[in-house]
Structure 1
Amino acid sequence: MDRTEKLHIAMFPWLAYGHTMPFLEVSKFLAQKGHRISYISTLKNISRLPKLPPHMSFNLSFVKFSLPHVHGLPPGVESTSEVPIHKVPYLKRAYDKLRDPLTDFLKNSNVNWIIHDFAPYWLPGIATPLGIKLIFFSIFNASSSAFGGPPSALLGDCQKRPKDFTVVPEWIDYPCNNVAFKLYEIVNYQQCMDDDMSDIHRIGRLIQGCQFVTVRTCFEFEGDTIKLLIKLYQKPVVPVGLLPPLLSLPSNEDNK
């Protein structure tokens, strides 16, 4: 790709403040480079974002979708901060229903690339036929991503029981004894997974379908792990830095 080429890039974060803010920071960086950015989310989540500086409004615009209703999700909920953890699976099902309005937008917008989150496992199926390339942006560090392993492991059954997540995986090829969950951590986290499509399978499908992966880290902090991810994913892995701290992150947003 020509470094001087100006692109139309769509940003599609998960519905949590800890995700929407890192995606906004990357959006602002790319807009300052002259690229056209379409930041896509729901009405309420976009309304919560900080106002843009006037000079960015030309290159960065917000695309607001209404979140479809699903049975089990309380009315008006559009973010993980608004529901207890055991209700988050219903939010994921509502998020999946954004597939149709997103498809309509992409068909009429001349988007070149989509930078997406962990959740829209169906995105390669609509982007690839339209000639749109995908970048999976993990808002977590490289060690968290490496723990999940290659797509074959993410889509397989090697980590199925909660106990399986409490040991260092065999594919971690550097000295490490702390890249694993505590049992209570994985049991708590599994409450927010959708039984029909787990987060693990979502990530596996998206890694398979994207052109490269970006991770919220840097070589100075996780050099060995970034090299491992390149080997596990068999595609480029680009660190985007640690990004600014999230100063007002609601306490129950973590790990959703």
Structure 2
Amino acid sequence: MATRKQPQLKVAMFPWFAIGHITPYIHLSNRLAARGHRVHFLLPGPTTLAKLAPLNRHPHLITFHPIAVPHVDGLPRGAETTADVPPHLTPLLFAALDATEDQFRSTVSRVGPLDVVLYDSAMWVPRIGRELGFLTMTYGVVSAAVGALRLVPSARLAKGMTDEEMARTPPGYPPHSAVVPRPDEIKQSRIFAENFGSVSLYDRIVTSVSGGDAMALRTCWELEGVFVKYMEEQYGKRALLTGPILPDRDHRLGLDEKWAAWLSKYPRGSVVYCAFGSESLLQKDQFQELLR
């Protein structure tokens, strides 16, 4: 009996304008394309697109579509991602993201019909999906532990909350979890209550996840199952888990000479790589604590 061929999906990706968000979406796109699915990837261009194009391992199935980042008063001209602006200007980049709605609609209309669009911060994507007839799914690249603690409907983060209020876990949060708000982290967590564009970052994420037909998370049940289950309960929808989606090793992408020379000073297997992204500014003692 002949093997029944699986239908090819037509997927679009529209991640937040940050390299740490775009890159995992590209890795997932490569996995989907390896299984024969077609992906249309919307990302800032032309600079960011050109920079990340080498990560596309299946150019015959993955098409990059440049999105021109609109100028917003106060935003440096030519800025495309968070790497191009200081942290205090990130809200302006979110405003620019929201101003790309017409470009998004035009692009997905042109390449459609689509089966599903994956996104994270553009909270208006579900509305366009309903209008044009495609499914929408948030793909969260941040750990489920953070999502469960700070980015669920019952957390209700808002400006003006006291330290005591910020220190509380959301109702129904896993009672025996070691992941709880700590005094030195409360200040950093207040960023979720700040306005990022027209709404707070907290409201933006909760609205995005709530509005989608489904949600996907870059994690696995064995590591974060208790947090995944809590997020499913909070949002009333099942979470699809992709696993870590690590990139395939590509020998065409050589190591930067600076780091190749530095690594050559140490025996093989003696260096531990510890990184949290270019925008996570940890102090030396914090890194040392993590390595103990």
Which of the pair has the greater relative contact order for Cα pairs under 8 Å at 6+ separation? 1
- Secondary structure at 1:252 match in 2: coil
AA at the equivalent of 1:76: G
Note if contact 2:93-2:197 (Cα within 8 Å) is conserved in structure 1.
Answer: no
CA 229–254 in structure 1, closer or farther in 2 if over 3 Å, else same: farther
Paired with 2:111 and 2:146, the residues of 1 have a C-alpha distance of: 34
Cα deviation per residue 1:11-42 (whole Å; 9 max; x = unaligned)?
00111111011000000000111111011011
Equivalence map 1:74-223=2 (5 Å): 74-110=76-112, 111-117=114-120, 119-148=121-150, 150-151=152-153, 153=154, 156=156, 161=161, 163=163, 164-180=165-181, 182-187=185-190, 189=191, 193-194=195-196, 196-223=198-225
Note if contact 1:216-1:243 (Cα within 8 Å) is conserved in structure 2.
Answer: yes
CA drift at 1:171: 2.2
AA at the equivalent of 1:172: Y
CA drift at 1:64: 0.6
Note if contact 1:7-1:35 (Cα within 8 Å) is conserved in structure 2.
Answer: yes
Paired with 1:109 and 1:222, the residues of 2 have a C-alpha distance of: 36
Match for residue 279 of structure 2? 252
CA drift at 1:168: 2.2
Cα deviation per residue 1:55-76 (whole Å; 9 max; x = unaligned)?
x111111001111111110111
Which structure's CA Rg is the greater one? 2
Residue 45 in structure 1 maps to residue 48 in structure 2? yes
Which runs of no fewer than 5 residues in structure 2 stay unpaired? 248-272, 283-292
Paired with 2:82 and 2:206, the residues of 1 have a C-alpha distance of: 22
CA drift at 1:177: 4.0
| TM-score of the aligned structures, taking structure 2 as reference length | 0.77
Note if contact 2:192-2:201 (Cα within 8 Å) is conserved in structure 1.
Answer: no
- Secondary structure at 1:115 match in 2: strand
Match for residue 9 of structure 2? 7
CA 17–219 in structure 1, closer or farther in 2 if over 3 Å, else same: same
CA 195–47 in structure 1, closer or farther in 2 if over 3 Å, else same: closer
Note if contact 1:81-1:250 (Cα within 8 Å) is conserved in structure 2.
Answer: no
- Secondary structure at 1:91 match in 2: helix
Note if contact 1:136-1:214 (Cα within 8 Å) is conserved in structure 2.
Answer: yes
CA drift at 1:199: 1.3
Between the two proteins, what is the percent identity of the paired residues? 25
CA 243–99 in structure 1, closer or farther in 2 if over 3 Å, else same: same
Q: Which of the residues 16, 19, 28 maps onto 1:17?
A: 19
Paired with 1:203 and 1:86, the residues of 2 have a C-alpha distance of: 19
Please tell me the root mean square deviation across aligned C-alpha atoms, in Å.
2.7
Note if contact 2:193-2:200 (Cα within 8 Å) is conserved in structure 1.
Answer: no
- Secondary structure at 1:225 match in 2: helix
